Amino acid sequence: MSRSSPPSRSAAGLKVLLLENVHTSAHELLLDAGCRVDALPNALGEDALIERLRGVQVLGIRSKTQVTARVLAACPGLMTVGCFCIGTNQVSLSTAHDLGRPVFNAPFSNTRSVAEMIIAEIVMLARQLGDRVREVHGGTWNKVSKACVEVRGKTLGIVGYGHIGSQVGILAEAMGMRVVSYDIATKLPMGNTQTLGTLEELLAVSDFVTLHVPATPVTERMINGEAIARMRKGAMLLNASRGSVVDLDALSRALRDGRLGGAAIDVFPEEPEENGEGFASVLQGAPNVILTPHIGGSTLEAQANIGREVATSLVRYIEVGSTVGAVNFPNLEMSPTAGSHRVLNAHRNVPGVLRDVNRIASDLGANIRAQMLATDASLGYLIMDLDQDVSTAVADAIGALSTNISTRVVY
Ligand code: NAI
């Protein structure tokens, strides 16, 4: 789709509140678009947030700020919310949807960071580096080569061949690994990756199995005792996806009785909320096991990318009405038409809305130069480019329809 700029920077003067130390890359982009940006290092509770959102059109948060239905209802001027992270559970998405406010996040900004960590861990597991490092730090010299292998020529099985899985595959092939993958969706295999039809087939042929699936009812405990029993003896398991995907008790047993040769686990069924909190896992002390505190995506580059990705989505929405990437809204984008004014309208998805809108434009003598509509079950989102002299009158009339949720002229 086109990424052309709007005729003017219609974000100018809009007020943005960024909480929780959102990366400076976001500030720069929003300031560049002409927004006024206020930033706080911390999250805010419900009442403080409502207070602080007076006069604010755009809110940027990370994972701690709870944008509840009450917050959204109490802040009618708020146009959109950007989650500068992957998850969006902290926002009442359905309320934001019903109020016509798209919510954006950054699903791909840390893809590469996770993939690189997996590659590092494959080599670490192959050479038992976690155990050796721990021993030498503890003052023990234990120079062993038993069961230590090169990764070249070994088979890597990737479960979930999405953004991260496919990146891992490309990097693993560069190290001379043979790559096989399994996904429930049909995916274009990158490089020489061989697609397998079932998880069982993948488990049976892989020296290393790495998991890159979402948390769903189907993936819950996908790697349980039965699945582990299908893995090759001495194979290694890596999980940097979600903690619900692996049965850790079964994994612990398989590692301690030598059935599996090692594991690298970055995500757990229950994870501490804060740094410094105690943490216990059945895997602690198991041989050749790398345990990390959910840091797969935690790099400086990922943080900067997240700042840029979400701020770009927010600016695109403010300036041209693009909802591409919104998690709770029909995704729509239309190139600006030269010399036009643009009207955006979110409405209840009931029969006859487009007819009413077009009648209004026609009655006011407005020529619709371009128009696009996207809908979901209950909401329609319309972008319309009109002759400049009538856009405000058209927007006012559309805004007065009983089906209207929100209407604005962006330029
Ligand atoms: P993605 O959506 O691009 O890929 C997921 C893939 O899994 C899709 O291709 C999907 O078709 C496939 N899939 C879904 N259900 C499946 C099933 N039952 N069996 C096989 N394949 C299945 O997601 P992305 O960005 O690659 O992320 C993957 C996982 O990594 C997610 O769970 C995400 O939460 C996690 N993640 C972890 C991070 C960390 O810090 N450790 C950072 C970023 C993401």
Q: Which of 308, 329, 350 is the last residue of a domain?
A: 329
Across the chain, what does the average pLDDT equal?
A: 95
pLDDT above 60 for 7? no
Question: Is the pLDDT higher at 226 or at 336?
Answer: 226
8 A C-beta contact, residue 237 and residue 246: yes
Is 271 marked active-site?
Answer: yes
Q: Which atom of ligand 1 is nearest to the CA of 298?
A: 40
Is 163 marked active-site?
Answer: no
pLDDT bracket for residue 3 (50, 70, 90): very low
pLDDT above 70 for 133? yes
Count of domains forming the chain? 3
Domain co-membership, 106 together with 79: yes
Of 101, 132, 242, 316, the catalytic one is 242
Domain co-membership, 241 together with 314: no
Domain co-membership, 165 together with 59: no
Tell me what the mean pLDDT of segment 30-46 comes to.
Answer: 96
pLDDT at 4: 43
Domain co-membership, 69 together with 131: no
Q: Which atom of ligand 1 is nearest to the CA of 166?
A: 26
Domain co-membership, 157 together with 124: yes
Among 283, 274, 199, 286, smallest CA distance to 243 is for 283
pLDDT at 9: 57
Using a pLDDT cut of 90, give the percent of the chain over it: 91
pLDDT at 225: 98
Degrees, nearest 5: CA angle 137-298-327: 155
Domain co-membership, 310 together with 358: no
- For 2-6, 74-78, 82-86, which range has the lowest pLDDT when averaged over its residues? 2-6
Residues with CB under 6 A from ligand 1: 86, 107, 110-111, 114, 159-165, 182-185, 187, 212-216, 218-219, 240-242, 266-267, 294, 296-297
Is 97 marked active-site?
Answer: no
Domain co-membership, 103 together with 20: yes
Of 9, 52, 294, 408, the catalytic one is 294
pLDDT at 5: 45
Domain membership of residue 81 as a residue range = 1-110+299-329
Tell me what the mean pLDDT of segment 222-229 comes to.
Answer: 98
Contacts of 75 (CB under 8 A, 6+ apart): 50, 53, 54, 56
pLDDT at 389: 80
Entry pTM: 0.84
pLDDT above 80 for 411? yes
Domain co-membership, 325 together with 336: no
pLDDT bracket for residue 231 (50, 70, 90): very high
Query: 305 φ, ψ to 5°?
Result: -65, -40
**Which residue among 211, 241, 244, 271 is best mutated to probe the pocket of ligand 1, counting the most ligand atoms within 8 A of its Cβ?**
241
Tell me what the mean pLDDT of segment 69-73 comes to.
Answer: 98
Assign residue 12 the CATH number of its domain. 3.40.50.720
pLDDT at 13: 86
Domain co-membership, 306 together with 286: no
8 A C-beta contact, residue 128 and residue 149: no
User: Between helices 353-363 and 391-399, what is the axis angle to 10°?
Assistant: 140
Tell me what the mean pLDDT of segment 384-411 comes to.
Answer: 92
Among 144, 116, 139, 140, smallest CA distance to 129 is for 144
Domain co-membership, 352 together with 342: yes
Assign residue 357 the CATH number of its domain. 3.30.70.260
pLDDT digits (tens, 9 = 90+) for 134-170: 999 999 999 999 999 999 999 999 999 999 999 999 9
pLDDT digits (tens, 9 = 90+) for 328-358: 999 999 999 888 999 999 999 999 999 999 9
pLDDT bracket for residue 8 (50, 70, 90): low
pLDDT above 80 for 12? no
Domain co-membership, 72 together with 54: yes
pLDDT digits (tens, 9 = 90+) for 239-260: 999 999 999 999 999 999 999 9
Domain co-membership, 21 together with 153: no
